[in-house]
Amino acid sequence: MEVAFLGSSSSGNSTLISSEDSMILIDAGLSSREMERRLEFLGYSSADIDAIVLTHEHSDHCKGAGIFARKFDIPVRANPPTFAMSPIGNVRFEEFITQEEFCIGNFRMMAFPIPHNAVEPVCFSITDGNHRIGFATDLGRITKLVNNVLFDKDLLIIEANHDEAMLRNGSYPEFLKKNISSSNGHLSNRQTALAVSELVTERTQGVFLVHLSEENNTPEKAEHEVKSIMARKLKSTKVRAAERYRVTEPVSLI
C-alpha cells in the first residue's frame, strides 16, 4: 500500500491510498482541478481513482468531490447522513454504514464514529489483507472506540491540529478557540502525542500528523511534541507532519 497526501489543512484535505489494484481518495477538499494536477504530479491519472470516501461534510473535506466525481464518473462513498449534508450535487452515491465493513477494489474498510461537530463524522481502518492503516482526522478527543480502531496499525494517520499555547495566545475569537479545543473540535499536539504513544506498536512503521492548523501550529511543533513522547517508546517508528499546501512525498508500506 502507498499513501500520499494531496493537501492537509483547513484549506483542503485529500489523501490518496493506493495498491496495485485499487486507488481511493479519502476526502476531496481541494478544487477538482488542483486534485487532478496533484495526482498527475504523483504520476497518477484521476480516471483511475476507484472511489472518493468521505469522513464528514465540512467543506475542507468535500469541496471538490462533486466536480471531480462527475468529471471522472467516480462514485462517492459516505454514510447517508454525511452525504445528505454534503454540498456536492448529483453524483454516483454508494453508501457505507458506519461500523459495517465495506470493500473498494481490494481494500477492506470500516468506518467508526468520532466526536466532531458534524452530522456523522467517522475515522477509518483500511486493509489490503496485508497491511493495516488507521486514519483519523477532525476529532475532539480519542474515545475508547477510536483508541481500539487505531491501535497496532502499520501506518497511523492522525490529526495534530494545534499547539495549545499558540491557540490560546493567538488571534482567533474566543468562541472559535473554544470550539476548536472542545471535545467535539480538533486534537491538539499534546492530545495527539499522548494518544500516539499508546497506539504505536512494533508493527507501526510510521505516523503521519495531519490537518495542522495554519494559524495555530507548525510542522516542527507537532513533530517535536509527538517525537518527544515516542522517543521513550519506539525509536524506530517514523513521525512526520504532512505538508499543508502541497503534495507530501508518498510512503510505501513494506
Binding footprint of Zn ion on the chain (CB under 5 A) = 58, 60, 138
Of 56 and 153, the one with the shorter C-beta distance to Zn ion is 56
Name the minimum Å distance from CB 132 to Zn ion: 24
157 three-class SS = strand
CB of 202 to Zn ion, least distance (A): 31
The full DSSP string for 180-225 is HHSTTS--BHHHHHHHHHHH--TT--EEEEE---SSS--HHHHHHH
232-245: b (≥16 Cβ within 10 Å) or e: eebeebebbbbbbe
> Cell numbers at residue 250, please?
508518498
CB of 2 to Zn ion, least distance (A): 23
Residue type, 60: D
Report in angstroms how near the CB of residue 27 gets to Zn ion at its nearest: 8
Question: Given the complex with Zn ion, which of 138 and 154 has the nearer CB atom?
Answer: 138
- Indicate the residue among 60 and 223 with the shorter CB distance to Zn ion: 60
Q: Measured from the CB atom, is 105 or 170 closer to Zn ion? A: 170
**Cα separation of 240 and 254, whole Å?**
17
Minimum distance from residue 29 beta carbon to Zn ion (Å): 7
Query: Among residues 38 and 58, whose Cβ is nearest to Zn ion?
Result: 58
Which one-letter amino acid corresponds to residue 93? F
Whole-angstrom Cα distance, residue 254 to residue 246? Answer: 25
